[in-house]
Structure 1
Amino acid sequence: MKKDSRKLWLILLAVTVIIWFSSISAAQEKAHPKLNPRDLTASLVGHAHIDLSWLWLWEETVNQVAPETFWGTLRQMNRRPGLTFAQSQGALYEAMEMSSPELFQEIKKKVKEGTFIPVGGMWVEPDLNLPDGESLAHQLLYGKRYFLEKFGTEVKVGWNPDSFGHNSQLPQLLKKAGLDYYVFERCAPEKTTAFWWQGLDGSKVLAYVPPGWYLVNLKDGVKDLLLRTYENTTLKDFMLLYGAGDHGGGPRDSDLEAILKFGNDPNHPRFEFVQPQAYFEKIEKLRIDYPVVRGELNFTFPGCYTTQVETKKANRRLENLLLEAEKFSSLAKLSGARDYYPDRDIDEAWKIVLRNQFHDILDGSAIGPVYEEVMGYYQEAEKRARRALDFSLETLANLIETRGEGSPLIVFNSLPWVRTEPVQARLVFNTPVKAIKILDVSGAEIPVQLLELKEESGQWKAEVIFMAKDVPSLGYKTYRVLPAKSKEKYKSQLTASSRILENEFIRLTLDPETGWWESLFDKTAGREFLAASGNVLEAIADKPPGMSAWEIGLKDLVEKLGEKGASVKVIEKGPVRATLRVEQLFRGSKFVQDIQLYAGLPRVDVRLWLNWQERNVMVKAAFPVALNRPVATFEIPFGAINRLATGNEVPALKWIDLSDEAGQAGLSLLNDSRYGFDVKDNTMRISIVRGATYPDPEADRGSHQLAYALYPHQGNWKQGLSFRRGLEFNQPLLAGQALIHPGTLPASQSFLELSPENAVVTTLKKEIGYGRTGFVLRLYEIFGQETEVKMTCPQPVEVWEADLIERPESKIGSASQTLTFKLKPFEIKTLLLKTL
């Protein structure tokens, strides 16, 4: 009887399962009824993904990869009328214009016919997490301007199929550059082909993930591919990117043969040649409720946030230098002292920096010779940018009234708020000097610390450091430098020993045996910020299963640098700066940290030198923070976002922050050249260096120098203005001796004032193009709240709101020095200013 009951129970269970699966199948059939493959359409776009540099050099791309790809594609177009081909990257087109003019003319003919189609609207296909926001704005500016000027083409389709992640301000950038659509592959939402991608500010673009990747081979048909794709969408028409790629290629003979073979096959999807924009316009008009995906589309290849650190450092340095050059070149021209703006130097420098932001270059995933080539290009860019900056600063200095006692020393502030910060300056005297004193604009002597003094070729050369107080917003302040009979003993709240560094804001305590930080005490708030030893350099086994430049494979902690002993000593103990030097060894690599406090500055700086020789190891600096349920915030291009503190390696720009959940206090970690971070619970870590072995077996081996800083603050990152501290750390005050002469400008002046604090100015530049006379000011809102902005200029201007391509859209101010306007939450706004 028991056996019969068990048998009956099994029969009932089987029937239930059958009914259940049948109902699911019926539901699926209703949602996606079986269809004839002929009801599906493969909208074909020929494509050749061209890595500007990867396992080959840029020179090879220009002389072989691109010309062979484009000539081959033109031949295929002649074989198969109607064939369309999409190609991104203005840098490639310009290279062909310069090196292969005959080819370029043939491309222009096909562009006019509508078969060779410029897409992307950017100068290259860049990394989209590591460049500064202004770099991405310039990518779109230079890319779209080039396509407009050379082809008359208004690119509407963004195109980054191989980039390693996509930041959450990109939809807004695309929209404000006139791009409504976006094609990409990596970090796509699971089982999604077409969707609305909504950015931080609410901007939306219609995004599309081409089935089968960006180099589909049509040889065996695409029926199975489209049927699989159709299971997760209501679309029946799919744009496919076909053709060989990476090292170029484009549509193959086998692709054209497959089009003929399957084109009339009643059991195969239809083939149709399309233009990408026309495809998007078609699917946008369909009555399909595409899903909305909000926020960043990340993460992949976390090793790329750190591999090849010198390239990343050069990128950051050049970004900062070019933004300074743009601002001061604009101010010099606006001053009326010269009718000149260094367009060529600035444009050519930007193009180099933008080209080097190509994803495989900046991300560190190319072969070693690429980085030798790239550093040469960076040197050329730096020469041009520095020439533009120095000439502009000299022009402004020549307008300033500098007559008076001693030698004038002018301190320039490139940021649009008043700053009090340390200034390091080199001075030259034509008479013997034993000591130096510095006077401020009121004639009061201020503390100065002499770092170096030497006689050379009949001149006395000195290097000094002092605190410049209240340097005006995007302006300057003049100090006077005089020889002194002897070194003055200034009063200072700085103290230093092998165990303690202290100023009026911070008391930092170190373990003299290890060099680790035992306490970071905020004297103003009466608060300890370390929960355990901090600034500990952790060497971690890093053994990914493959692709070591791209991937991270963190295993066991190998060693905490200093646990086997360290050297700790005071090397500076002056009225302006005190420095402790910590030396630590790890295997065959040496690490030297200069830990610095300045009088009057609530920040601890770390200058780190290392000679790195290890493979398959990653070094991170760790800071366990004494905060309750902290919230992690990361700077991204044109903004800041919160992320979960899961311990995953993530990208950020100049700063990250941990603030307690109540928003009472926080600790910001600033940096000058690093992009990889992780936060786990209350511990934040910055990635210093790693030892990848492929494709460059010697990646990062050698000497490196970097800087980072810890900034404790009351309130959260917004009240603490962490975003300003990050910019200040990356764009320090600039100082230079000037000649003595009369001038029309006073000893101290601001050229631009702007409020409130959450409106962040990123650039002031002349509008692109020779013969154009307007100036572009760009800013963004960082707190996520609607804001009324007040801006004061040194002279009356007319102001238009413009798109990212610097085309005026609407007039918002006329003939006034003071302007008010609104910023929406997280909005990026571009203004076009014209003097009267």
Structure 2
Amino acid sequence: MRRPEAKYRVYYFPHFHYDVVWRFNRRDCSYINHRLLRHVAVLCSIFPDFKFGVEDAYQFMEIERRDPALFKRLKEEASRGRLVVVDGQYLMADSFLPGGEVFVREILRGKRYVKEKLGLDVKVGWLVDSFGLNAQIPQIYVDAGYRWLVFGRGRERKPGSADFKWRGLDGTEILTHYLCSKHSYHVGIFAEHLYDNLEELRMYAATKHILMPCGVGSCPFPEWVLRAVEDFEEKHPEYEIELSTPEDYFKALEEEGVELPVEEGEMYSGERIFDSVWSTRMWVKLGYFKVRNLILNAERFSTIAWLLGKPYPERELKEAWDQVLFLAFHDVVTGTSVDEVFYEVSDVIDILITSLSSILSSALGYIASKACIGSRSIVIFNPNSFESKGYVEYELRFSPEEKVKHVEVEGVPCELVEEERDVEGWLRRAKLGFIATAPPLGYRVYRLRHASSPEGLRRIHGRTYIDNGRVRVEVDPITGVLTVIDRELGSFKCRLELENEVGSVYSHRDITRDLAGLVAAEGERSSNKPVFNVSDVQVIEGSVSQRLLVKEELYGCFWPYRLHEHFGIELHRQKLMDVEKEVRIYRGLPWVEVVVRLKNKFPHIRLRWCFDLGFKGRYVASTAFGAIERRPEPKEHPMEDWMDYSCEEKGFTLFTRGIPGHQVEEGKVYLTLLRSVDLLSYGDKGPIMPVPDALELNRDYVFEFAFMLHRGGWKEVKAWREALCFVNPLMPMLVEPAKAKGELPGDEFSFLSLPDHAVLTCLKRSEDGRHVVARFYEASGSQGEASLTLFKEPREVLLSNITEEKEEPCSLNVKLRPFQIVTLKLAL
């Protein structure tokens, strides 16, 4: 009997979703990878039509190292089209926390490896487990050579909506499929539920074509499902099922010619995102932030040093990059793996900070040695592609033979922050502070000289405010609440707030808010709640900086606990937290800096800094290679480095050093400093596993952030520029005149510059070793031009892409779309 024509065509795609860590450590996951890929090789030999997909290049690297014979076999299957690679990143990174440049390096490292070793040019993006996707994914993926994209988290599930065109911030579009099934990427694994699951997929399908992934990793591939598929087709002739690939699915979808809707913005909605991972295990976020800055700056200045004659540290940087890409994995930087994983992560961060600091210091030292410097000087290096300004502290040490009484920086206001003298009064150690500026990606030399008596910092007793003429910051010595007063733009209050936290590493859950409100807050006292007690307030003032220091403790009990507003408090007991807030303002800088040092002994709390701004505004946050406008709502969002909240009359910009989690409600901005949880999951998002490390107890934390009030919006004040001056600050280095050879100017010099609206994210030696790669993006959301200025005239300028494969002749003057990413290859 002739089979009736099928109404629906199903593309059944067995694949391997690989977690390099999560429930298990890296060693165990390596075993699982080897075990499953051996099984795949066997299945390929048994079933002639079998096809299978692998996500990460790292999986093949592990097999190549561990089992060369298996790797050879997998390579053969790839050449026959039976083993395919989807996405092909080094590892599936989180798309928000690593930062745009690190994210594209996952693609660069992985996609080039897959092409070189397996001969495959990956065309399908496959981000099935990242916790939401940033708004630049369409541009990033199209630029890297992908034609289609599949993802599994970050969107509402609606009938008929699985397929759409996703438009990025710059206007780039990519044909996209969202895995709408409640089973997401492993919907096809359940042979006994094949009909129900296909009916669910049919409901979400936009056409007669249905993509049915069968994701393994949690178990080996269940080969009996293949027989179940054959039996299913006989019973349900309306479905035609074939073992296929996402590429086949997308080609059929394009041939169908159905006009699909266009969606814009980031994918950060629906029930599958985890909106509290941005503040889980904050020590990981802060450590990763340091590592990210270090590797990008070490790479930039190593490239400059290479152009000046120093050997390029290729091996050292490659090894470091592989470890950074591991940290960027979606279950590492988010803090969502079992505790055992983070013992290794802690070691990796420590090793990277040491090794990358050495690479950076070596490159800076080499560059400084080329400058014509005639006297002992502090050389200030600027890692940004625009002129930067910031407060710099540098500690000098003196030998007994030097006989120095006083020292200062020539030509700029300078303050003595700390000093140490011998018994005869000669300086042995002096820490100087001053406001420095440096040209784009270059240096400025600040010479040291003997001084009669430089002004040191002085403590002012009894004062509870600091004031630089424009901004005044006051502290209530009883409550610890801060008031920020801008003489032109008004005032607002800041305070620390504690909420109950009985969620997991993924999700915030507060069971006391409806009963009792906040657990504790500065300025609030209740008989059954912990209370903040201000134990000391100091003002330290210099010629350049002013510092307000507030020491507080959080106590669980106090007496009298009733009528305390009449009697006062005499006893504080059961200390739960030590807090020191240091607020700094400077002469000549527009922002207010805050350092919060704390040690927490209070489990199951969420600690947030609340800015009570008191006006209604528009909310914009930095994201990978750009900025995104968001709707204020009661959930946390990540920022890459900064966020802004502005109305027509004024605005507020916040920038942080590695503190991504924040929430915006009408008139208020909350910055989450830490969350204390002890469960990986309640069984809804993963295994029910204790994770005591995530309780954040007895760690010494230092949180650094800054903010400013301004007129106009974020574009007018160039918020990205102010943020980067703080987030990626100036770097000082002491240079002795004997080491200066005089090839470079002895006052200041710029190696590379871009206009303010273009931001450099990468300067490196190309993968082939023949070019310099410079990557930048348009930061203001406006169309325009960018002219790249270099200290050497390039012999050739090529327009390239993320994978460095494209080479089209161009000039150093580039027209830019809003938020466009540009990669240039330069022959110098």
Q: Same fold (TM over 0.5)?
A: yes
Alignment of 1:118-133 (within 5 A): 118-133=85-100
8 A Cα contact 1:496 1:578, kept in partner: no
8 A Cα contact 1:658 1:667, kept in partner: yes
The answer for the alignment partner of 2:313 in structure 1 is: 342
Q: For residues 449 and 206 of structure 2, what CA distance do their matches in structure 1 show?
A: 78
8 A Cα contact 2:457 2:540, kept in partner: no
Deviations 1:484-521 (A, max 9, x none): 4x6323899x9896411111432112211122112x22
Q: Aligned AA for 1:99?
A: R
The answer for the alignment partner of 1:594 in structure 2 is: 582
Deviations 1:105-142 (A, max 9, x none): 22211111111112113111111121211111211111
8 A Cα contact 2:481 2:523, kept in partner: yes
Secondary structure, counterpart of 1:583 in structure 2: strand
Question: Which of 385, 401, 415 does residue 416 from structure 1 map onto?
Answer: 385
8 A Cα contact 1:781 1:828, kept in partner: yes
The answer for the alignment partner of 1:521 in structure 2 is: 485
Alignment of 1:661-672 (within 5 A): 662=648, 664-672=649-657
Question: Which of 17, 32, 35 does residue 65 from structure 1 map onto?
Answer: 32
Quote how far apart the aligned CAs of 1:271 are.
2.2
Alignment of 1:164-313 (within 5 A): 164-191=131-158, 192-210=161-179, 211=181, 212-215=183-186, 216-220=188-192, 222-245=194-217, 247=218, 249-267=219-237, 269-299=239-269, 300-313=273-286
Question: Which of 89, 107, 111 does residue 56 from structure 2 map onto?
Answer: 89
8 A Cα contact 2:596 2:702, kept in partner: yes
Per the normalisation by structure 2, the TM-score is 0.89
Aligned residues: 770
Pairing 1:652–2:639 present: yes
Quote how far apart the aligned CAs of 1:278 are.
2.5
Question: Which of 496, 506, 518 does residue 549 from structure 1 map onto?
Answer: 506
Quote how far apart the aligned CAs of 1:57 are.
0.6
Q: For residues 712 and 7 of structure 2, what CA distance do their matches in structure 1 show?
A: 60
Q: For residues 275 and 233 of structure 1, what CA distance do their matches in structure 2 show?
A: 17
Secondary structure, counterpart of 2:378 in structure 1: strand
Secondary structure, counterpart of 2:109 in structure 1: helix
Question: Which of 450, 453, 476 does residue 487 from structure 1 map onto?
Answer: 453
8 A Cα contact 2:408 2:454, kept in partner: no
Pairing 1:558–2:519 present: yes
8 A Cα contact 2:405 2:427, kept in partner: no
The answer for the alignment partner of 1:320 in structure 2 is: 293
Q: For residues 403 and 698 of structure 2, what CA distance do their matches in structure 1 show?
A: 39
Q: Aligned AA for 1:787?
A: G
Secondary structure, counterpart of 1:163 in structure 2: coil
Q: For residues 140 and 749 of structure 1, what CA distance do their matches in structure 2 show?
A: 37
Quote how far apart the aligned CAs of 1:45 are.
1.4
The answer for the alignment partner of 2:408 in structure 1 is: 438
The answer for the alignment partner of 1:149 in structure 2 is: 116
Secondary structure, counterpart of 2:550 in structure 1: strand
Q: 1:79 to 1:753 in 2, by over 3 A?
A: closer
Deviations 1:461-481 (A, max 9, x none): 535232243311111011222
Q: For residues 460 and 80 of structure 2, what CA distance do their matches in structure 1 show?
A: 73
8 A Cα contact 1:223 1:268, kept in partner: no
Q: Aligned AA for 2:581?
A: Q
Deviations 1:60-106 (A, max 9, x none): 112x1110111111112222112111111122221222222222222
8 A Cα contact 2:718 2:780, kept in partner: no
Q: For residues 202 and 270 of structure 1, what CA distance do their matches in structure 2 show?
A: 36
Deviations 1:224-275 (A, max 9, x none): 3223332344422222111433x4x342133233234335445462221112
Moved more, 77-86 or 256-265: 256-265
Secondary structure, counterpart of 1:808 in structure 2: coil
Quote how far apart the aligned CAs of 1:574 are.
2.1
Q: Aligned AA for 1:538?
A: E
The answer for the alignment partner of 1:604 in structure 2 is: 592
Q: Aligned AA for 1:605?
A: E
8 A Cα contact 1:561 1:584, kept in partner: no
Question: Which of 720, 724, 729 does residue 726 from structure 2 map onto?
Answer: 729
Pairing 1:820–2:820 present: no
Q: For residues 577 and 789 of structure 2, what CA distance do their matches in structure 1 show?
A: 52
8 A Cα contact 1:54 1:365, kept in partner: yes
Q: 1:243 to 1:781 in 2, by over 3 A?
A: closer
Deviations 1:25-72 (A, max 9, x none): xxxxxxxxxx9894323212111212111111112112x111011111
Q: 1:527 to 1:291 in 2, by over 3 A?
A: closer
The answer for the alignment partner of 2:67 in structure 1 is: 100
Secondary structure, counterpart of 1:359 in structure 2: coil
Unaligned regions of 5+ residues in structure 2, if any?
Answer: 525-530, 557-575, 681-690
8 A Cα contact 2:416 2:454, kept in partner: no
Question: Which of 429, 436, 439 does residue 462 from structure 1 map onto?
Answer: 429
Q: Aligned AA for 2:189?
A: N
The answer for the alignment partner of 1:540 in structure 2 is: 499
8 A Cα contact 1:580 1:596, kept in partner: yes
Quote how far apart the aligned CAs of 1:152 are.
1.8
The answer for the alignment partner of 1:578 in structure 2 is: 546
Q: Aligned AA for 2:714?
A: W
Q: For residues 421 and 79 of structure 2, what CA distance do their matches in structure 1 show?
A: 66
Deviations 1:388-430 (A, max 9, x none): 21111111011011223xx222111111122221112132322
Moved more, 204-213 or 701-710: 204-213
Secondary structure, counterpart of 2:111 in structure 1: helix
8 A Cα contact 2:412 2:435, kept in partner: no
Secondary structure, counterpart of 1:222 in structure 2: helix
Q: For residues 54 and 67 of structure 1, what CA distance do their matches in structure 2 show?
A: 17
Question: Which of 660, 663, 674 does residue 659 from structure 2 map onto?
Answer: 674
Secondary structure, counterpart of 2:443 in structure 1: strand
Instruction: Report the aligned-residue RMSD.
Output: 2.5
The answer for the alignment partner of 2:564 in structure 1 is: none
Moved more, 224-233 or 780-789: 224-233
Alignment of 1:336-485 (within 5 A): 337-338=309-310, 340-404=311-375, 407-430=376-399, 431=401, 435-440=405-410, 444=411, 446-453=413-420, 462-484=429-451
8 A Cα contact 1:408 1:738, kept in partner: yes
Secondary structure, counterpart of 2:364 in structure 1: helix
Quote how far apart the aligned CAs of 1:149 are.
1.5
Unaligned regions of 5+ residues in structure 1, if any?
Answer: 1-34, 814-818
Pairing 1:52–2:43 present: no
8 A Cα contact 1:45 1:241, kept in partner: yes
The answer for the alignment partner of 1:810 in structure 2 is: 808
Q: Aligned AA for 1:364?
A: G
Per the normalisation by structure 1, the TM-score is 0.88
Q: For residues 744 and 384 of structure 2, what CA distance do their matches in structure 1 show?
A: 19
The answer for the alignment partner of 1:697 in structure 2 is: 692
8 A Cα contact 1:754 1:789, kept in partner: no
Deviations 1:150-206 (A, max 9, x none): 112111111111111011111100000001111111123422211111111111111
The answer for the alignment partner of 1:756 in structure 2 is: 755
Quote how far apart the aligned CAs of 1:806 are.
1.3
Quote how far apart the aligned CAs of 1:320 are.
0.8
Q: For residues 40 and 652 of structure 1, what CA distance do their matches in structure 2 show?
A: 42
Q: For residues 111 and 380 of structure 2, what CA distance do their matches in structure 1 show?
A: 37
